[in-house]
Chains A and B, each alone.
Chain A
Amino acid sequence: EIVMTQSPDSLAVSLGERATINCKSSQSVLHSSNSKNQLAWYQQKPGQPPRLLIYWASTRYSGVPDRFSGSGSGTDFTLTISSLQAEDVAVYYCQQYYSTPQTFGQGTKVEI
Protein backbone atom coordinates (compact mmCIF):
# COMPACT_ATOMS: atom_id res chain seq x y z
CA GLU A 1 0.00 0.00 0.00
CA ILE A 2 1.32 3.43 -0.93
CA VAL A 3 1.42 5.80 2.03
CA MET A 4 0.64 9.44 1.33
CA THR A 5 2.00 12.03 3.75
CA GLN A 6 0.94 15.66 3.64
CA SER A 7 2.60 18.66 5.22
CA PRO A 8 1.81 20.74 7.09
CA ASP A 9 -1.20 19.36 8.95
CA SER A 10 -2.62 22.87 9.08
CA LEU A 11 -1.71 26.36 7.96
CA ALA A 12 -3.07 29.85 8.35
CA VAL A 13 -2.74 32.22 5.42
CA SER A 14 -3.85 35.82 5.02
CA LEU A 15 -6.47 36.65 2.44
CA GLY A 16 -4.82 37.20 -0.93
CA GLU A 17 -1.65 35.40 0.07
CA ARG A 18 -0.27 32.13 -1.26
CA ALA A 19 -0.97 28.78 0.36
CA THR A 20 1.26 25.79 -0.36
CA ILE A 21 0.49 22.19 0.61
CA ASN A 22 2.93 19.35 0.13
CA CYS A 23 2.24 15.68 -0.47
CA LYS A 24 4.79 12.89 -0.50
CA SER A 25 4.16 9.31 -1.60
CA SER A 26 6.07 6.32 -0.24
CA GLN A 27 6.81 5.22 -3.80
CA SER A 28 6.65 6.83 -7.20
CA VAL A 29 3.20 7.30 -8.69
CA LEU A 30 4.55 8.12 -12.14
CA HIS A 31 3.03 5.59 -14.52
CA SER A 32 5.50 4.44 -17.18
CA SER A 33 2.79 3.61 -19.71
CA ASN A 34 1.53 7.17 -20.06
CA SER A 35 4.25 9.19 -18.28
CA LYS A 36 1.59 10.69 -16.07
CA ASN A 37 1.59 11.06 -12.32
CA GLN A 38 -1.42 9.31 -10.83
CA LEU A 39 -2.06 11.96 -8.21
CA ALA A 40 -5.19 13.98 -7.44
CA TRP A 41 -6.16 16.74 -5.03
CA TYR A 42 -9.52 17.24 -3.33
CA GLN A 43 -11.05 20.02 -1.28
CA GLN A 44 -13.48 19.28 1.54
CA LYS A 45 -15.44 21.98 3.30
CA PRO A 46 -17.15 21.28 6.64
CA GLY A 47 -20.26 19.16 6.30
CA GLN A 48 -19.69 18.60 2.59
CA PRO A 49 -18.31 15.75 0.51
CA PRO A 50 -14.90 16.16 -1.10
CA ARG A 51 -14.59 18.02 -4.39
CA LEU A 52 -12.12 17.05 -7.10
CA LEU A 53 -9.71 19.90 -7.86
CA ILE A 54 -6.70 18.46 -9.69
CA TYR A 55 -5.88 15.18 -11.43
CA TRP A 56 -2.78 13.87 -13.21
CA ALA A 57 -0.98 15.99 -10.60
CA SER A 58 -1.46 19.25 -12.51
CA THR A 59 -4.68 19.20 -14.57
CA ARG A 60 -7.46 21.34 -13.13
CA TYR A 61 -10.88 19.73 -13.10
CA SER A 62 -13.73 21.50 -14.87
CA GLY A 63 -14.88 24.63 -13.08
CA VAL A 64 -11.94 24.84 -10.67
CA PRO A 65 -10.60 28.40 -10.39
CA ASP A 66 -7.16 28.97 -11.87
CA ARG A 67 -5.78 30.13 -8.52
CA PHE A 68 -5.51 26.39 -7.75
CA SER A 69 -2.52 24.67 -9.32
CA GLY A 70 -0.75 21.37 -8.87
CA SER A 71 2.84 20.45 -9.52
CA GLY A 72 5.41 17.77 -8.85
CA SER A 73 6.41 14.38 -10.12
CA GLY A 74 7.41 10.96 -8.87
CA THR A 75 7.00 11.11 -5.11
CA ASP A 76 6.76 14.83 -4.31
CA PHE A 77 3.79 17.01 -5.13
CA THR A 78 2.44 20.45 -4.28
CA LEU A 79 -0.95 22.11 -4.32
CA THR A 80 -0.75 25.88 -4.50
CA ILE A 81 -3.53 28.38 -3.96
CA SER A 82 -2.05 31.53 -5.46
CA SER A 83 -4.30 34.08 -3.76
CA LEU A 84 -6.33 32.70 -0.89
CA GLN A 85 -10.01 33.57 -0.83
CA ALA A 86 -12.39 33.20 2.11
CA GLU A 87 -14.20 30.37 0.34
CA ASP A 88 -10.98 28.34 0.15
CA VAL A 89 -11.08 27.55 3.88
CA ALA A 90 -11.24 23.77 3.84
CA VAL A 91 -9.29 20.57 4.31
CA TYR A 92 -7.27 19.47 1.30
CA TYR A 93 -6.37 15.87 0.52
CA CYS A 94 -3.99 14.32 -1.97
CA GLN A 95 -4.79 10.88 -3.39
CA GLN A 96 -2.76 8.40 -5.36
CA TYR A 97 -4.42 6.19 -7.94
CA TYR A 98 -1.29 4.41 -9.09
CA SER A 99 -2.22 1.22 -7.25
CA THR A 100 -5.06 -0.42 -5.34
CA PRO A 101 -5.93 0.37 -2.65
CA GLN A 102 -6.00 3.98 -3.63
CA THR A 103 -4.84 6.00 -0.66
CA PHE A 104 -5.28 9.52 0.60
CA GLY A 105 -3.07 11.81 2.60
CA GLN A 106 -4.16 12.68 6.12
CA GLY A 107 -5.38 16.11 5.04
CA THR A 108 -4.21 19.69 5.46
CA LYS A 109 -6.49 22.24 7.06
CA VAL A 110 -6.29 25.71 5.53
CA GLU A 111 -7.52 28.64 7.59
CA ILE A 112 -7.48 32.39 7.27
Chain B
Amino acid sequence: EVQLMESGGGLVQPGGSLRLSCAASGFSFSSYWMTWVRQAPGKGLEWVANVKQDGSEKNYVDSVKGRFTISRDNAKNSLYLQMNSLRADDTAVYYCARGLWTFDIWGQGTMVTVSS
Protein backbone atom coordinates (compact mmCIF):
# COMPACT_ATOMS: atom_id res chain seq x y z
CA GLU B 1 0.00 0.00 0.00
CA VAL B 2 1.27 3.43 -0.93
CA GLN B 3 1.57 5.38 2.30
CA LEU B 4 3.08 8.44 3.94
CA MET B 5 3.27 8.81 7.71
CA GLU B 6 4.35 11.96 9.49
CA SER B 7 5.74 12.19 13.01
CA GLY B 8 7.53 14.65 15.24
CA GLY B 9 4.85 17.21 15.90
CA GLY B 10 4.09 18.60 19.33
CA LEU B 11 4.00 21.66 21.55
CA VAL B 12 6.97 23.99 21.37
CA GLN B 13 7.65 27.45 22.75
CA PRO B 14 8.09 30.45 20.46
CA GLY B 15 11.66 30.55 19.22
CA GLY B 16 12.04 26.82 19.63
CA SER B 17 12.82 24.08 17.14
CA LEU B 18 11.19 20.90 15.94
CA ARG B 19 12.04 18.27 13.35
CA LEU B 20 9.26 16.60 11.44
CA SER B 21 9.69 13.27 9.69
CA CYS B 22 7.69 11.57 6.98
CA ALA B 23 8.13 7.85 6.31
CA ALA B 24 7.22 6.66 2.85
CA SER B 25 6.27 3.13 1.86
CA GLY B 26 4.76 1.27 -1.06
CA PHE B 27 6.38 3.30 -3.83
CA SER B 28 9.79 4.27 -5.18
CA PHE B 29 10.44 7.22 -2.88
CA SER B 30 13.63 8.29 -4.65
CA SER B 31 11.72 8.80 -7.91
CA TYR B 32 9.50 11.62 -6.67
CA TRP B 33 9.68 15.23 -5.66
CA MET B 34 8.28 15.55 -2.14
CA THR B 35 6.45 18.45 -0.56
CA TRP B 36 5.34 19.77 2.83
CA VAL B 37 1.94 21.50 3.04
CA ARG B 38 0.50 22.95 6.24
CA GLN B 39 -2.96 23.87 7.45
CA ALA B 40 -3.54 26.22 10.39
CA PRO B 41 -6.51 25.30 12.61
CA GLY B 42 -9.74 25.99 10.76
CA LYS B 43 -7.86 27.50 7.82
CA GLY B 44 -6.89 26.59 4.28
CA LEU B 45 -3.88 24.87 2.78
CA GLU B 46 -0.46 26.47 2.47
CA TRP B 47 2.41 25.04 0.43
CA VAL B 48 5.58 25.17 2.56
CA ALA B 49 8.50 23.57 0.77
CA ASN B 50 9.54 20.93 -1.70
CA VAL B 51 12.65 18.94 -2.55
CA LYS B 52 13.84 17.25 -5.72
CA GLN B 53 14.39 13.52 -6.00
CA ASP B 54 18.12 13.72 -5.25
CA GLY B 55 17.86 16.62 -2.80
CA SER B 56 19.74 18.97 -5.12
CA GLU B 57 16.91 21.48 -5.45
CA LYS B 58 14.76 22.91 -2.69
CA ASN B 59 12.09 25.59 -2.65
CA TYR B 60 10.40 27.41 0.23
CA VAL B 61 7.52 29.78 0.79
CA ASP B 62 8.85 33.19 1.80
CA SER B 63 7.43 33.03 5.32
CA VAL B 64 9.69 30.09 6.27
CA LYS B 65 12.84 30.91 4.31
CA GLY B 66 15.88 30.97 6.58
CA ARG B 67 13.99 29.20 9.37
CA PHE B 68 12.89 25.86 7.87
CA THR B 69 15.02 23.30 6.04
CA ILE B 70 13.61 20.47 3.97
CA SER B 71 15.71 17.37 3.40
CA ARG B 72 15.40 13.73 2.50
CA ASP B 73 17.16 10.42 2.98
CA ASN B 74 16.37 8.14 0.07
CA ALA B 75 18.09 5.19 1.72
CA LYS B 76 15.60 5.48 4.58
CA ASN B 77 12.62 6.48 2.40
CA SER B 78 12.20 9.50 4.59
CA LEU B 79 11.44 13.19 4.24
CA TYR B 80 12.24 15.76 6.91
CA LEU B 81 11.39 19.32 7.86
CA GLN B 82 13.70 21.04 10.33
CA MET B 83 11.85 24.01 11.81
CA ASN B 84 13.78 26.63 13.77
CA SER B 85 12.80 30.00 15.26
CA LEU B 86 9.22 28.86 15.44
CA ARG B 87 6.47 31.46 15.71
CA ALA B 88 2.84 31.30 16.78
CA ASP B 89 1.72 31.58 13.15
CA ASP B 90 3.58 28.32 12.36
CA THR B 91 0.93 26.49 14.37
CA ALA B 92 -0.66 24.03 11.95
CA VAL B 93 -1.11 20.46 10.85
CA TYR B 94 1.88 19.64 8.65
CA TYR B 95 1.29 17.19 5.81
CA CYS B 96 3.90 15.54 3.65
CA ALA B 97 2.73 14.90 0.12
CA ARG B 98 4.08 13.20 -2.96
CA GLY B 99 4.68 15.31 -6.02
CA LEU B 100 6.10 18.49 -7.47
CA TRP B 101 3.09 20.12 -9.04
CA THR B 102 0.09 18.10 -7.87
CA PHE B 103 -0.05 15.96 -4.77
CA ASP B 104 -1.58 12.54 -5.22
CA ILE B 105 -0.54 10.92 -1.95
CA TRP B 106 -0.82 12.64 1.44
CA GLY B 107 0.02 11.62 4.96
CA GLN B 108 -2.44 12.02 7.82
CA GLY B 109 -0.52 15.01 9.13
CA THR B 110 1.23 15.91 12.36
CA MET B 111 0.17 18.82 14.56
CA VAL B 112 2.65 21.51 15.52
CA THR B 113 1.60 23.97 18.21
CA VAL B 114 3.77 26.98 18.98
CA SER B 115 2.76 28.50 22.29
CA SER B 116 4.19 29.58 25.60
Contacts and interface: CB of A to CB of B under 8 A. Distances in A.
Given A38-B101, A97-B101, A50 B44 contact: no
Contacts of A51: 106
Contact of A49 (B62, B102, B108): B108
A107 B43 CA distance: 9
Nearest to A97: B101
Contacts of B61: 101
Contacts, number: 48
B102 A106 contact: no
A101 B102 contact: no
A70 interface: no
B89 to A, nearest CB: 16
A40 B102 contact: yes
Interface of B: 37, 44-47, 59, 61-62, 95, 97, 100-104, 106-109
Counting from the closest, the 9 A-B pairs by CB-CB distance are A49-B106, A97-B101, A104-B45, A102-B47, A101-B61, A55-B102, A40-B102, A107-B44, A52-B104
